[in-house]
Amino acid sequence: MIDKKLENQINYQINRELYSEYLYLSMAAYLEDKGLAGMAHFMRVQGEEEHFHAMKFFDYLNERGGRVVLNAIEQPPVEFDSPQAVFEESLKHEMIVTDLINKLMDLAIEINDHAARSFLNWYVDEQVEEEATFHTIIDKLNLVKGKGDGLLMLDKELSTRTFTSPTK
């Protein structure tokens, strides 16, 4: 049986991952509206990844005999300052999520839940990847000053992203 505090924190994390999905979909809608279909596609795929993150926690909580409780998902922002700002906001958001994952890991360590620690390691590694992905794109956006032909080339590059569901 899973510790009650850990159960609550995982339920909160499920909510945050689903909010992440919602946030990236809202960014996709904004980018689509700006005519950047490749970047919009990239954000849709990011949304799919977040859904996967949420469901991985969902399944794990069930597996551990916990009870999944779904709370309301808040509305994400609708407007952004620029396409570049979208990616800067994404990185900021991922840094907050990394902090939440670290707090979950802190709790698993505190209560000596070795199984949870092992499970959470996947998310610790995943967050490194998430932050690096956005860092790389922001670097490229800085190089092209977030506009012009460079922006269109980056839009094309980001249109090729695909989501392959990792095997657990």
* Binding residues vs ligand OFO (CB under 6 A): 17, 20, 50, 53, 94, 97, 130
Question: Residue 41 in contact with residue 161, Cβ under 8 Å?
Answer: yes
Query: Closer to ligand OFO at the Cβ: 7 or 94?
Result: 94
Judged by beta carbon, residue 3 or residue 49, the one nearer ligand OFO is 49
Q: Report the residue number, 55 or 144, with the smaller CB distance to ligand OFO.
A: 55
To ligand OFO, the closest distance from the beta carbon of 35 in angstroms equals 25
Instruction: For the CB of residue 84, give the shortest distance to ligand OFO in the complex, in Å.
Output: 19
Dihedral sign of CA atoms 18, 48, 43, 29 in order:
negative
Contact 162, 129 (CB under 8 A): no
> Which residue's beta carbon is nearest to the bound ligand OFO?
20
Which class for 53: exposed (0-12), middle (13-18), buried (19 or more C-beta within 10 A)?
A: buried
